[in-house]
Chains A and B, each alone.
Chain A
Amino acid sequence: QSALTQPASVSGSPGQSITISCTGTSSDVGFYSYVSWYQQHPGKAPKLLIYDVTKRSSGVSNRFSGSKSGNTASLTISGLQAEDEADYYCCSYVGASTWVFGGGTQLTVL
Chain B
Amino acid sequence: QVQLVESGGGVVQPGGSLRLSCAASGFTFGSFGMHWVRQAPGKGLEWVAYIPYDGSNTYYADSVKGRFTISRDNSKNTMHLQMDSLRAEDTTLYYCAKDSGTYASDIWGHGTMVIVSS
Residues of A that sit less than 8 Å from B by CB: 1, 3, 32, 34, 36, 38, 40, 45-48, 51-52, 55, 57, 89, 91, 93, 96-104
Q: Tell me if B68 is interfacial: C-beta within 8 Å of chain A.
A: no
**In the complex the two chains form, what is the Cα distance from A91 to B106 in whole Å?**
13
Interface pick from B8-16, B17-25, B108-116: B108-116
A97–B47 CB distance below 8 A: no
B108–A47 CB distance below 8 A: yes
| Residues of chain B from 30 to 85 with CB closer than 8 A to chain A in the complex | 35, 37, 44-47, 50, 52, 57, 59-62
Partner of B103, one of A38, A47, A52: A52
A100 / chain B contacts, CB cutoff of 8 Å: 47
Q: How many inter-chain contacts with C-beta < 8 Å in the A-B complex?
A: 73
Residues of B that sit less than 8 Å from A by CB: 35, 37, 44-47, 50, 52, 57, 59-62, 95, 97, 100, 102-106, 108-111
**In the complex the two chains form, what is the Cα distance from A104 to B44 in whole Å?**
6
**In the complex the two chains form, what is the Cα distance from A103 to B46 in whole Å?**
9
7 cross-chain pairs, A with B, having the tightest CB-CB distances, nearest first:
A34-B103, A51-B104, A36-B104, A104-B44, A45-B108, A97-B59, A99-B47
